[in-house]
């Protein structure tokens, strides 16, 4: 076996990036040098998106211009709605979204200059809330809602979903999770995007790769899997017996553990505070009680802490957001992080192409077709 081999690339440094810094030892996370605590405390999600794409926080003038550019591009081309309408009603919104982003790529012939890439990233950022929510509406047989161009990214999600503006505490709670979801180094979906564009493919292809990668329950799909688990547990009394059985069956407990953070995920601690507030305010204490029991028991039995997806699942449930939209909200939040990485990769590209260690058969004799037998054909 090669000395360089690390299953799942664990512990491997596969590139250099100035987009974010994950410091697992200190449980710290910074975007472009700014600590997530400061961003959650002081910034809108739109400011965070600008920060990731442009490398620094905007001045008031730049922020106004950015919001204006975004507001002018909220509506995707109408052909996208026709494609949503032709999908089976059972299509998961993540699959629908992946298809929609791929389609958007066909409408964009602006090329791959640095200015074009930035404009493409801003356009995707502007359109993704409508793609997520109006796409879901179409799958549900509901009419689409016109985006209110005065609203921030986080408020717009609720306006499209409910056809009404959210209460300030709802906007704040969603914004907090969006900022926490916005960027995270060489996570699987970002890495997939970078691998794709490292072949000099286009930005949309990079985002499509990222979308397909985020969907899995070991990554972004964990927030939907975590709420499914809490619903399956159903009562605080059932939490310990349920967990005991699940661990005995070697099931993965969704929303727990992390490749980087072995001493807890600071993002989860911040999101938990919001989740508990909203759960209490909206009468979802039963679910926060179950979540607390699972968290305590997971630490006792496995020494594992929740990752961001666990409190987010409780929070979105308490906000009455439809479960199939949980992972698409992750997309709405991670889109500028992905694009910042794609732009960075293309800015100083080297093809990402690792090796693998062969472990198949060797020296196999060739047998002509007429003499071959299928296994167990006797």
| Number of residues in contact with ligand ACO under rule CB under 6 A | 18
SS3 160: helix
Q: How far apart are CA 133 and CA 128, in angstroms?
A: 9
Candidates 76, 166, 220, 328: give the one binding ligand ACO (CB under 6 A).
220
Asked if 81 and 138 count as a contact pair (C-beta separation under 8 A), the reply is yes
Residue nearest to ligand ACO as judged by C-beta position: 257
CA-nearest of 187, 210, 179 to 261 is 187
Q: Determine how β-strand 34-35 pairs with β-strand 28-31.
A: antiparallel
Asked if 192 and 213 count as a contact pair (C-beta separation under 8 A), the reply is yes
- Is 179 among the residues that bind ligand ACO (CB under 6 A)? no
- Is 210 among the residues that bind ligand ACO (CB under 6 A)? no
Q: Which of 153, 258, 265, 341 is catalytic?
A: 258
Asked if 214 and 220 count as a contact pair (C-beta separation under 8 A), the reply is yes
Question: Which part of the chain contacts ligand ACO (CB under 6 A), choosing from 36-44, 50-58, 137-145, 251-259?
Answer: 251-259
- Is 281 among the residues that bind ligand ACO (CB under 6 A)? no
In the complex with ligand ACO, the residue whose CB is nearer, 220 or 337, is 220
- Is 252 among the residues that bind ligand ACO (CB under 6 A)? yes
**Residue 89 corresponds to which tokens in the numbers above?**
């009603």
Tokens 């709420």 sit on residue: 227
CA-nearest of 101, 46, 45 to 76 is 101
Q: Which of 46, 202, 309, 341 is catalytic?
A: 309
> In the range 31-90, which residues lie near ligand ACO by CB under 6 A?
none
Asked if 330 and 220 count as a contact pair (C-beta separation under 8 A), the reply is yes
- Is 20 among the residues that bind ligand ACO (CB under 6 A)? no
Report CA-CA distances (Å) from 260 to 9, 24, 254, 257, 264: 12, 6, 16, 9, 9
- Is 257 among the residues that bind ligand ACO (CB under 6 A)? yes
For residue 13, the 8-state DSSP code is -
Question: Which part of the chain contacts ligand ACO (CB under 6 A), choosing from 113-121, 151-159, 253-261, 280-288?
Answer: 253-261
Candidates 125, 136, 157, 256: give the one binding ligand ACO (CB under 6 A).
256
In the complex with ligand ACO, the residue whose CB is nearer, 226 or 340, is 226
- Is 12 among the residues that bind ligand ACO (CB under 6 A)? no
To the query of whether residue 341 is one of the catalytic residues in this protein, the response is: no
Question: Which part of the chain contacts ligand ACO (CB under 6 A), choosing from 140-148, 149-157, 214-222, 350-358?
Answer: 214-222
- Is 302 among the residues that bind ligand ACO (CB under 6 A)? yes
Enumerate residues 6+ apart whose C-beta is below 8 A from 245: none
Rounded least distance, CB 222 to ligand ACO, Å: 4
Count CB atoms within 10 A of the CB of residue 106: 10
- Is 308 among the residues that bind ligand ACO (CB under 6 A)? yes
**Residue 46 corresponds to which tokens in the numbers above?**
């739109």
Q: How far apart are CA 59 and CA 257, in angstroms?
A: 38
Q: How far apart are CA 273 and CA 201, in angstroms?
A: 41
Rounded least distance, CB 167 to ligand ACO, Å: 26
- Is 286 among the residues that bind ligand ACO (CB under 6 A)? no
Q: How far apart are CA 187 and CA 9, in angstroms?
A: 11
Q: How far apart are CA 117 and CA 10, in angstroms?
A: 31
To the query of whether residue 309 is one of the catalytic residues in this protein, the response is: yes
In the complex with ligand ACO, the residue whose CB is nearer, 193 or 253, is 253
- Is 222 among the residues that bind ligand ACO (CB under 6 A)? yes
- Is 135 among the residues that bind ligand ACO (CB under 6 A)? no
- Is 245 among the residues that bind ligand ACO (CB under 6 A)? no
- Could you give the residue numbers annotated as active site? 258, 309
Interacting residue ranges for ligand ACO, rule: CB under 6 A: 8, 218-220, 222, 252-259, 302, 304, 307-309
């Amino acid at each position: 076996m090669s000395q360089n081999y690390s299953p799942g690339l664990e512990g491997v440094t596969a590139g250099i990036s100035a987009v974010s810094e994950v410091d697992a030892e200190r449980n710290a996370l910074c975007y472009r040098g700014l600590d997530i605590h400061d961003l959650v405390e002081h910034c809108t999600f739109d400011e965070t998106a600008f920060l990731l794409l442009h490398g620094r926080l905007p001045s008031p003038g730049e922020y106004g211009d950015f919001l204006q550019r975004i507001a002018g591009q909220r509506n995707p081309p109408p052909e996208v709605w026709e494609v949503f309408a032709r999908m089976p009603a059972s299509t998961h919104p993540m699959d629908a979204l992946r298809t929609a982003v791929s389609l958007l790529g066909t409408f964009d012939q602006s090329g791959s200059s640095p200015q074009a890439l930035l404009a493409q990233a801003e356009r995707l950022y502007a359109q993704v809330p409508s793609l997520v929510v109006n796409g879901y509406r179409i799958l549900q047989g509901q009419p689409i809602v016109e985006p209110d161009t005065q609203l921030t990214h986080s408020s717009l999600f609720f306006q499209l979903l409910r056809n009404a503006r959210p209460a300030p505490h709802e906007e704040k709670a969603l914004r907090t999770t969006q900022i926490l979801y916005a960027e995270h180094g060489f996570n699987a979906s970002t890495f997939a995007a970078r691998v794709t564009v490292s072949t000099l493919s286009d930005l949309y292809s990079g985002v499509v790769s990222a979308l397909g990668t985020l969907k899995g329950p070991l990554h972004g799909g964990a927030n939907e899997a975590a709420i499914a688990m809490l619903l399956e547990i159903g009562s605080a009394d059932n939490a310990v017996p349920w967990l005991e059985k699940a661990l005995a069956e070697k099931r993965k407990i969704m929303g727990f553990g992390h490749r980087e953070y072995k001493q807890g995920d600071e993002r989860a601690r911040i999101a938990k505070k919001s989740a508990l507030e909203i759960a209490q305010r909206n009468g979802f204490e039963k679910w926060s009680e179950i979540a607390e029991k699972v968290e305590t028991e997971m630490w006792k039995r496995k020494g594992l802490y929740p990752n961001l997806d666990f409190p987010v699942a409780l929070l979105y449930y308490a906000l009455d957001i439809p479960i199939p939209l949980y992972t698409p909200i992750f997309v709405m939040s991670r889109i500028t992080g992905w694009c910042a990485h794609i732009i960075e990769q293309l800015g100083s590209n080297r093809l990402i192409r690792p090796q693998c260690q062969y472990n198949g058969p060797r020296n196999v004799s060739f047998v002509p077709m007429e003499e071959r037998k299928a296994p167990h054909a006797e």
